[in-house]
Amino acid sequence: MMGNTHKTLPQILLHNAQKYGKRKLAIREKDLGIWQSYSWHDYYENIKKFALGLASLGLQRGDRLSVIGDNRPQLYWAQVAALCLGGIPVPLYQDAIEKELEYIIEHSEAKFVVAEDQEQVDKMLALQKKIPSMEMIIYDDPRGMRHYRQPFVKSFTEVQALGLEFEKDHPDFFEQEVKKGKGDDTALIAYTSGTTGNPKGVVLTHSNLLTNVRLIFKAEEYRDSDQVMAYLPMAWIGDSIYSLAMHLDIGFTINCPEAASTVLRDMREVGPTVIFCPPRIWENILTTIRVKMEDAAWIKQKMFNFFIHVAQRVSTYQLNHQPVPLELRILYALGEFFVYGPLRDNLGMRKIRYAYTAGAALGPEVFQFYRSIGVNLKQVYGLTETSAMCTYQPDDEVKLETVGIPLPGIEIKISEGGEVLIKSPGVFQGYYKNPEETSETLKDGWLHTGDAGIIDKDNHLIIIDRAKDVSTLANGTIFAPQFIENKLKFSPYIKEAVTLGQGKEYVAAMINIDMESVGNWAERKNIGYTSYADLSQKPEVYELISQEIKKVNTGLAKEEQLRGAQIRRYLILHKELDPDDAEVTRTRKIRRGFISRKYAELIDALYSEKEGIDVEAKITYEDGRTATIRAFLNIRQAETF
């Protein structure tokens, strides 16, 4: 299992193929309702054939290869195959629009692009004329590709066939190329989401990735028998760590679901032991549970609510490191039989040993719900620049408001200005073709994260906001927009929020409702609606959101330093904030500068006496088409304390 001393991911691949051969599963995917399984021997053979095919097509050491699509074995194999030849993977977000893709492919000078299917190939063909560096487009799924005759478009299996031919004249070529690899070779260029401008290419070496994996392994007990779901975007560093680096180094099995919409169903069949979900997914699952329970028979509702209350009382004792009374222990055992166990089973989480969340704050109520029903959910913190995870919560040190303590071998401190600084062997080499940003971010061996945080008495890190976003209101009250936005998003009815207030007299908010949960609520209340814009402006919906804002203001009122940062006025936006409209990044981070310019009239109205404003907005669809929305947005006063 662990204890690997190999310096590169391809060298570990060779080791795993010899160690496990055909007797252990490396990866599987669900296709057309059937799980297709590949042993470590199959994994190695597919990568070897593809790598040799790439060599025959001219891929040289240092060349970049991009992949785009859903999580598929072939796209992982393509990345490892490039590494075997000294190439560098550059994964792309599958839902990125043409402009975003053009920038990354051109900036990275990607020579090869491996695309999942016809949809992604069409995107690449549209870009190919603009980007001279792109020489070859390779696709995995042949459906719809019959009439694509361009010589630079080839199927994955065609390239593998070329590899078999190439091997006849170069029998030892693959193994020799793998041996040439060194730990300080670049293993990945991962592009950030770009909240303030163009994405930055984070350069990570084999040593960065593998050292960080081994630090994680010192903290958490991973096994080569673990089952892990691969469903998060391949361009996200978390997927690269789990589905490539950790997968190879530890040897566990990766499971690719059939589609994003089938993840939960496929999880039930797999029974993963480790899972990583951003907060929004944990919140969506809980919202689905609550909606189903509201439609259940009254006896089931009563039993569910009773035992969930028991579980939360037990969880509170455990989180406070207090002994659980005997009566509660007996009731919890009954709850495990009637509610918690069946619920975990229904969610595909019965075998979970480690469940993680990261990327944004998770509401304490949501966090405690999962822990109370027996899911070992923990908050962690990391950046693309730190090779993902750099803090964790030990099983016996879980706190609802923190992201845990540093992994073994990682140092974290807070600067005089309140910024989180990190020193770690996983810290990146620099931003690709961007020495100025690199020198701003890496100083004296410390990574300047740009996040504002504090360290509590137990050495736990608490992230407050982006350092540059923390400011004050006109009266001097501290204003941390992300802190307040996260509290708003703890509501199942609020999908996104933008808070405003820097230099202003009070805090105002622009709200995105969660269409699914508010839509379900409206149907139960017999409230008719025709569209998102129509539903968002219903008086009943404003009253619903008003109650959610009231809860946030109640919490802020209890904090002396934040009492003055309660939300005074708000409106509900007529459209969802969308990456395609450049309002949020692909990882759902708000582009504040862009929003402040685009919605300047709405912001001015929030700081006036107006009770509403007419708007006209252009929205962009994924295929580039645009449409115009017109609406009247109400502006309401919020209750403050």
Question: Can you give the pLDDT at residue 195?
Answer: 60
Is the per-residue pLDDT at 506 higher than 80?
A: yes
Give 167-194 as a 3 state SS string: HHHCCCHHHHHHHHCCCCCEEEEEECCC
φ/ψ region of 604 (left if φ > 0, alpha if ψ in -120 to 50, else beta) reads alpha
Question: Can you give the pLDDT at residue 39?
Answer: 98
- In angstroms, the CA 242 to CA 259 distance is 19
Q: How sure is the predictor about 624, in pLDDT bands with cuts at 50, 70 and 90? A: low
Residue partners of 215: CB distance under 8 A and separation at least 6: 407, 408, 409, 410, 424, 425, 426
Q: What proportion of the chain, given as a percentage, has pLDDT over 70? A: 98
Q: Of 115-119, 278-282, 494-498, 599-603, which range is least confident?
A: 278-282
**Residues carrying CATH 3.40.50.12780, the chain:** 9-273, 279-350+352-466
Return the structure tokens found at 231. 């469903």
Q: Please check whether residue 341 is in contact with residue 267, taking contact to mean a CB–CB distance below 8 angstroms.
A: no
Is the per-residue pLDDT at 1 higher than 50?
A: no
Superfamily of domain 279-350+352-466, CATH level 4: ANL, N-terminal domain (3.40.50.12780)
What is the average pLDDT across 259-282? 92
Nearest to 381 by CA among 209, 238, 206, 189: 238
Question: Can you give the pLDDT at residue 346?
Answer: 93
Residue partners of 282: CB distance under 8 A and separation at least 6: 357, 362, 366, 367, 370, 377
The correct CATH number of 470-637 out of 3.40.920.10, 2.60.120.620, 3.30.300.30, 3.40.50.1100 is 3.30.300.30
**Residues carrying CATH 3.30.300.30, the chain:** 470-637
Task: Compute, in degrees rounded to 10, the torsion defined by CA atoms 421, 427, 432, 435.
Answer: 50
Extended strands (E) in 440-531 = 442-443, 446-455, 461-466, 471-472, 478-479, 494-500, 507-513
Nearest to 541 by CA among 563, 558, 518, 564: 518
Summarize pLDDT for 553-589 with one digit per residue, the tens: 998 888 777 788 999 999 999 888 888 777 888 777 8
- In angstroms, the CA 36 to CA 16 distance is 20
Is the per-residue pLDDT at 157 higher than 60?
A: yes
Question: Can you give the pLDDT at residue 428?
Answer: 97
Summarize pLDDT for 364-376 with one digit per residue, the tens: 888 999 999 999 9
Average pLDDT of the chain, as a whole number: 92
Instruction: Kindly give the pairing relationship between strand 253-256 and strand 25-31.
Output: parallel
- In angstroms, the CA 379 to CA 454 distance is 16
Question: Can you give the pLDDT at residue 461?
Answer: 95
Summarize pLDDT for 7-56 with one digit per residue, the tens: 999 999 999 999 999 999 999 999 999 999 999 999 999 999 999 999 99
More confident residue, 60 or 293: 60
Residue holding tokens 């619920």?
A: 343
Summarize pLDDT for 517-558 with one digit per residue, the tens: 899 899 989 999 988 889 999 999 999 999 999 999 998 888
Return the structure tokens found at 421. 């600084």
Question: Can you give the pLDDT at residue 4?
Answer: 60
- In the CATH hierarchy, which top-level class contains the domain 9-273? alpha beta
Nearest to 357 by CA among 316, 320, 387, 398: 398
More confident residue, 96 or 219: 219
More confident residue, 503 or 561: 503
- In angstroms, the CA 63 to CA 109 distance is 8
In b/e form, how buried is each residue of 583-612, taking b as 16+ CB within 10 angstroms? bbbbbbbbbbebbeebbeebbebbeeeeee
